[in-house]
Amino acid sequence: MPFLLLFTLFALLDFVILFTVGSQIGLLTTLLLVLATGFIGLHLVRRQGVATLQRAQQRFANGELPSGELITGAALIFGGALLMAPGFVSDALGFMCLIPGTRQLLGRGFALLGVKARGFSVHRQPGPGADDWHRSAGQGPDDWQPRDRGAAGNDQGPIEGDFISRDDSRR
């Protein structure tokens, strides 16, 4: 419930400021400003999104978890959505999410307010690692296949076993 109240108050404040500024500078100027911030934001989201995706792919290729890039990507999506919303307060917050230095300050501010993300950990499971894959003849992005390690290699053959149903309705 507090989130819904906070969201409603934020939207109300955004519209009050938008209409107040709009009455001072005129309707056409206000519309042009809102459209300009939307297009500038879209351009920044595209440019930074591509760079973030490339960094994430690089970290995946190195066998690392791109947690920083995932958080950056979430901030870019949130900032882009705020820039698409009409209003000057949402635009200011959206630009803060898109500019790297202010994005870090915003993250620290949320941490001080007690907004925390749930931690998670990733453990490497047995199976093919980053160096156990190769491209097949197609060389396309989806043409990665596990390397054949042979009978003495890393147990990558089919898994066989028996299935036993323990359903109480059959007893």
Residue 97: name the closest of 122, 68, 71, 119 by CA: 71
Please answer whether residues 38 and 109 qualify as being in contact, where contact means their C-beta atoms are separated by less than 8 angstroms. Answer: no
Please answer whether residues 30 and 21 qualify as being in contact, where contact means their C-beta atoms are separated by less than 8 angstroms. Answer: yes
- Give CA–CA dist 60/75, Å, rounded: 20
How does pLDDT run along the chain (171 residues), one tens digit per residue?
677 888 899 999 999 999 999 999 999 999 999 899 889 888 888 988 898 889 989 988 888 888 888 888 888 888 888 988 888 999 998 988 888 888 778 777 766 665 554 443 334 444 544 444 455 555 555 555 555 555 545 555 556 666 666 666 655
Q: Which two tokens stand for residue 58?
A: 């690089």
pLDDT in the model for residue 122: 39
pLDDT in the model for residue 138: 55
pLDDT in the model for residue 86: 86
- Count CA atoms within 13 Å of residue 78 on its CB side: 14
pLDDT in the model for residue 73: 87
pLDDT in the model for residue 69: 85
Please answer whether residues 13 and 89 qualify as being in contact, where contact means their C-beta atoms are separated by less than 8 angstroms. Answer: yes
Write down the pTM of the prediction: 0.58
